[in-house]
Chains A and B, each alone.
Chain A
Amino acid sequence: MAAKDSGGQSQSQRSRQEADAETTEAAVDPEIAERHEAITEEVDDLLDEIDEVLETNSEEFVRSFVQKGGQ
């Protein structure tokens, strides 16, 4: 699907990768590239964890959180 869609998404991904590559070249430091990759993976990992933690039906969960007023 992504291969056929030569517009928006993959285009921007490609240019982001190019930008990353340029930054890496300019810095001439593979460690930074590695670190960058690690951070991206970590963020994905965290977002996946959010999915695990959230109740299955978000709408129902949010709707049923009803409180009496307090101070």
Chain B
Amino acid sequence: MTVRRIMGTEIEYGISVPGQPGANPMVTSSQIVNAYAARPELSKGGRARWDYEEETPLRDARGFTYTGALYDPAENLADEDSGLANVILTNGARLYVDHAHPEYSTPEVTNPREIVLFDKAGEMTMAEAALRAAHTPGIGPINLYKNNTDNKGASYGAHENYLMSRQTPFADIVAHFTPFLVTRQVYAGAGRIGIGQDASEHRFQISQRADFFEVEVGLETTLKRPIINTRDEPHADAERYRRLHVIIGDANLAEWATFLKVGTASIVLAMIESGAFDGSLAIAEPVAELRAVSHDPTLRHKIELRNGKRLTAVELQQAILEQAEAYCGPDADPDTREVLDQWAYVLDALARDPMELADMLDWPAKLSLLERYRERENLDWGAAKLQAIDLQYHDVRPEKGLYHRLVARGKMKRLLTDTEIIDAMTEPPADTRAFFRGRCLARYPSEVVAASWDSVIFDVGADSLVRVPMMEPEKGTKAHVGELFERCAAAKDLLDVITAD
């Protein structure tokens, strides 16, 4: 039993041009991505394209392939031809335009601490991209927000991906992951002023995303959003793996919130894979309870279970943690131990007073700022000033974002140093195939013509392109191929060695 598995996050950032609400977000998002692509290590050689060969976003985990017109995969393939920018980074991440937002997908990593590292590297990448765009002639200032709603009815995602065993029945995931996801927001929520998709009721709620979820299970991600998303596109050997695409989470600024969000999820998935749950925590009305929990920052709301019992979200999380402790046992590896200990710590604090975590988690930090400001200025929750503070909390600029101002004052507990995060903007994780992808782009920028999660395509002057498939996410690591990159000065040398094996 371990928290370790292949995982990653993908975050769509809010984008706006001050004073120009009508600016075309596809154009401005492309400007952001292209501005970052001008970085020295990315502008050597031609830009590598995304290889869509293995992508099947309409395959459903329940075993069928969707044939309706959700969206046309051909449109996806045409993205770059229509000018939507895409760049693959030397750390193995992908920075691109998706659904009118700039998006950062982290490289594949193996543990929650590295998720935080690369998720924060993504945030810093966005901040730098905006700075570079502002210095590009003809482009005005563009602001980016790591949040999930404009409070006018639109939401955009912060997705997590977990590689799982193909053998785990999908029905088990639906049954046992749902109660966890409905209640995880008590530590993973990013906070929001406004109830309802259009925020028409002026109150504070725990989560940015809760009001945008309408069904329990489904394939869609942009409308009728499901608590459990069934997209089944493993980007790996489909016989062995499933990639669980979790779309319900908020984008977090607080490092510990991200750490707990993915760390607890990975442990619960490991428990589901081992058949640890008996179904006694099943929630009667998951969609309604998701919202009810979010709408009550006092955390007193009682969730009704299918068996008639009533538990608060914190109590339900404590019940899951208790089982996790029993399941992981005293011999849990250090990564797993750290998640279990922090999980216990925050649940205890939440049960006493959520405001004890104002220096650790997003929603208590934001609520604490709002409450103090509200008190001083004597404002009601509908005040534009408070809405502005809510939004400004998520601004990625270190000098403007209120989360970042709290960090600068030493008011937020951290896991990482800025130096570590800056290194992660260019250095890939050592222990997944992202190492191979990232190093190929860093070492042979002119020869790599395309790449994807599970391939790198080279043009080394031969008659045809050479496609190196990477269907095993735990291969292509530094231990496997690190020495090869030192030995092979040219891409051709590398390919000679690989294809000879």
Say if the beta carbon of B139 comes within 8 Å of chain A. Answer: no
Residues of B within 8 A of A (CB): 12, 14-16, 18-21, 25, 98-101, 145, 149-157, 159, 221-223, 247, 369, 372-373, 376, 384-385, 387-389, 391-392, 399-400, 402, 405-406, 409, 411
Do A70 and B99 contact each other (CB < 8 Å), given the known contacts A53-B402, A65-B391? yes
Residues of A within 8 A of B (CB): 42-44, 46-47, 49-50, 53-55, 58-59, 61-71
**Distance of A44 Cα from B400 Cα, bound (Å):** 18
Do A65 and B150 contact each other (CB < 8 Å), given the known contacts A50-B389, A55-B388, A58-B387? yes
CB of A41 to closest CB in B, whole Å: 12
In the bound complex, do residue A46 and residue B12 qualify as a contact, i.e. CB atoms below 8 Å apart? Answer: no
Partner of A58, one of B154, B372, B384: B384
Q: List 7 A-B contacts (CB under 8 A).
A: A46-B372, A62-B388, A66-B16, A66-B21, A67-B149, A69-B223, A70-B156
CB of B115 to closest CB in A, whole Å: 19
CB of A13 to closest CB in B, whole Å: 13
In the bound complex, do residue A46 and residue B15 qualify as a contact, i.e. CB atoms below 8 Å apart? Answer: no
In the bound complex, do residue A70 and residue B392 qualify as a contact, i.e. CB atoms below 8 Å apart? Answer: no
**Distance of A64 Cα from B297 Cα, bound (Å):** 28
CB of B324 to closest CB in A, whole Å: 29
In the bound complex, do residue A43 and residue B372 qualify as a contact, i.e. CB atoms below 8 Å apart? Answer: yes
* Residues on the B chain within 8 Å of A70, using CB: 12, 98-101, 154-157, 222
In the bound complex, do residue B18 and residue A55 qualify as a contact, i.e. CB atoms below 8 Å apart? Answer: yes
CB of B472 to closest CB in A, whole Å: 27
Q: Tell me whether chain B's interface is mostly helix, strand or loop, or mixed.
A: mixed
**Distance of A55 Cα from B247 Cα, bound (Å):** 31
* Residues on the A chain within 8 Å of B155, using CB: 69-70
In the bound complex, do residue B391 and residue A62 qualify as a contact, i.e. CB atoms below 8 Å apart? Answer: yes
CB of A7 to closest CB in B, whole Å: 15
**Distance of A34 Cα from B221 Cα, bound (Å):** 53
In the bound complex, do residue B15 and residue A54 qualify as a contact, i.e. CB atoms below 8 Å apart? Answer: no
Shortest Cβ distance from B389 into A: residue: A50
**Distance of A42 Cα from B406 Cα, bound (Å):** 11
**Distance of A65 Cα from B154 Cα, bound (Å):** 11
**Distance of A61 Cα from B150 Cα, bound (Å):** 11
In the bound complex, do residue B12 and residue A65 qualify as a contact, i.e. CB atoms below 8 Å apart? Answer: no
**Distance of A69 Cα from B148 Cα, bound (Å):** 9
In the bound complex, do residue A67 and residue B150 qualify as a contact, i.e. CB atoms below 8 Å apart? Answer: yes
In the bound complex, do residue B388 and residue A54 qualify as a contact, i.e. CB atoms below 8 Å apart? Answer: yes
CB of A10 to closest CB in B, whole Å: 15
In the bound complex, do residue A46 and residue B409 qualify as a contact, i.e. CB atoms below 8 Å apart? Answer: yes
Partner of A54, one of B12, B153, B392: B392
Shortest Cβ distance from A55 into B: residue: B388
In the bound complex, do residue B247 and residue A71 qualify as a contact, i.e. CB atoms below 8 Å apart? Answer: yes
CB of B377 to closest CB in A, whole Å: 8
CB of A50 to closest CB in B, whole Å: 6
In the bound complex, do residue B388 and residue A68 qualify as a contact, i.e. CB atoms below 8 Å apart? Answer: no
Shortest Cβ distance from A70 into B: residue: B156
